[in-house]
Amino acid sequence: MSFSDLGLRAELLRAVEAQGYDTPTPIQRQAIPAVLKGGDLLASAQTGTGKTAGFTLPMLQRLAEGPRPAKCQIRALVLTPTRELAAQVGESVRDYGKHLSLTHHVIFGGVGQQPQIDAIRPGLDVLVATPGRLLDLHQQGHVNLSQVEILVLDEADRMLDMGFIHDIRRVLKLLPEKRQNLLFSATFSSEIQALADKLLDRPEMIEVARRNTTAETVDQAVYRVDRERKRELLAHLIESHRWYQVLVFTRTKHGANRLAEHLDKRNITAMAIHGNKSQSARTRALGAFKSGDLQVLVATDIAARGLDIDELPHVVNFELPNVAEDYVHRIGRTGRAGNEGQAVSLVCVDEHGLLKNIERLIKRDLEKRIEPGFEPDPNAKPEPIENGRNRRGGGQRRGGNTNRNSGGGSSGNGGGNQRNGGQRSDNGNSHNRNASDQPARRRRRRGGQGNRQGQA
């Protein structure tokens, strides 16, 4: 099957061809005709499956067929959990829509709002937004959502994880009754199901990868190692295997900084990206990583969400995530669009319970390896896992955290709580993050006004 069999117009086919895509991916084969029909859609798809083109191409086609937007009006609204994902969706809209005369803009917090207001004023065919900044601009009367024809919730599971549910509900109240709704989510929790039930009207359901599974093209393994020797082992693996483009996940911002510094000292070029970094620092790091100037990018889960890096060969879990579903998201960074990838996890005695949860979720045992010279101490005792809360700075592990990894617990409720803890570890100490990027609920509690833009 080719893109021209899917009913897309010539302008879009030319744009797809310019991207070098020959064949639609499974999600595109199913989503494109479904969206073109105009009905609601519930799609289970991980990043890396081509889902962005799956909703962007038919959305642009439908918009091209209708009248232009009026002043401050938005015709299609795409909500994303993070600025990076918003920027990437914006790039897709630009690339796929380059032969159509549709207008679009991307808005998120952490940057000045005036250019965003100026871009919205004449009305837009497509607005890609993070919920916090959208609500701020709406509150100030700069955007009118009463004529939205298409709503896309991209990575809806992550939006809920990040506490955006109240913001989403507020946005929904601003939209007209009659509209097309598209909901994309990598994982399906009962919360997502509840949101889908409320939002969608007799949706077409698409499920490309099995739920909570990792891509077949990713070679996954676990290195057992002592907690204190992880940094050394990572540097050794990178050097001995000559890995040249490695995305490394840490649980905390401080951990990300420390690890990047350590690797740099070993002459392995590395930078950290996380919620405390300004938008420009994150963009710079990502650019250097994509171009190959930077060998290692160290990221926290939230910062890494939505990173689109073609053919990323190596993902390393320097620490396992507290919530098993995050493992699936992390691994989704490699082995994308059919390419082969390798994902290794460095696991110490503290993390055996987390590993069990992950294996249960993905329904397979991961291969366990021990690197010669890095044999773990068989008598090592587990310690509570650091998740970045209540720290007084510095790099020392503390014992005061209640987030014990005693293992065996489900990744359901308990995992959800832990995830919130991890979330705070990425946001809580932020000095650079703009209030607009955080759920309004949290901003209200902190007494923030949400118009402190431009502080990043």
Least separation in angstroms between CB 28 and ligand AMP: 6
d(CA 87, CA 106): 6
CB of residue 41 to ligand AMP, shortest distance in Å: 15
Based on CB atoms, which residue is closest to ligand AMP, 29 or 230?
29
Residue 52: CB minimum distance to ligand AMP, A: 3
Which residues form the interface with ligand AMP (CB under 6 A)?
21, 23-25, 28, 47-53, 308, 310, 336-337
Cα separation, 35 vs 54, whole angstroms = 9
CB of 200 to ligand AMP, least distance (A): 21
The nearer residue to ligand AMP, 120 or 304, going by C-beta atoms, is 304
**Closest CB to ligand AMP among residues 123, 332:** 332
Q: Residue 373 CB: number of other CB atoms within 10 A? A: 9
For the bound state, the minimum distance from the C-beta of residue 53 to ligand AMP, rounded and expressed in Å, comes to 5
Residue 370 has phi, psi (to 5 degrees) of: -125, 120
Closest CA to 163 of 391, 388, 456, 443: 443
**Closer CB to ligand AMP, residue 25 or residue 181?**
25
Give the residue ranges of DSSP H helices in 2-104: 10-19, 26-37, 51-64, 83-96
| Residue placing its CB nearer to ligand AMP in the complex, 336 or 391 | 336
Least separation in angstroms between CB 34 and ligand AMP: 16
- Which one, 170 or 305, has the nearer CB to ligand AMP? 305
User: Comparing C-alpha atoms, which of 133, 119, 145 is closest to residue 81?
Assistant: 133
Comparing CB distances to ligand AMP, the nearer of 92 and 257 is 92
Q: From CA 219, how far away is CA 214, in angstroms rounded?
A: 10
Q: What pairing do the DSSP bridges indicate for beta strands 124-129 and 270-273? A: unpaired
d(CA 224, CA 31): 41
Our CB check for ligand AMP shows the closer of 51 and 274 to be: 51
- Alpha-carbon distance of 273 to 255, in angstroms, equals 11
- The minimum distance between CB 16 and ligand AMP, in angstroms, equals 7
Give the helix/strand (H/E) hosting 116. Answer: helix 114-120
Return d(Cα 208, Cα 31) in angstroms, integer. Answer: 10
Question: What token pair was written down for 227?
Answer: 């907690």
Distances (CA, A) of 274 to 60, 82, 193, 278, 293: 32, 12, 30, 9, 19
Q: Give the nearest distance from C-beta 320 to ligand AMP in angstroms.
A: 24
Residue 343's Cβ-count burial label (10 Å; 0-12, 13-18, 19+) is buried
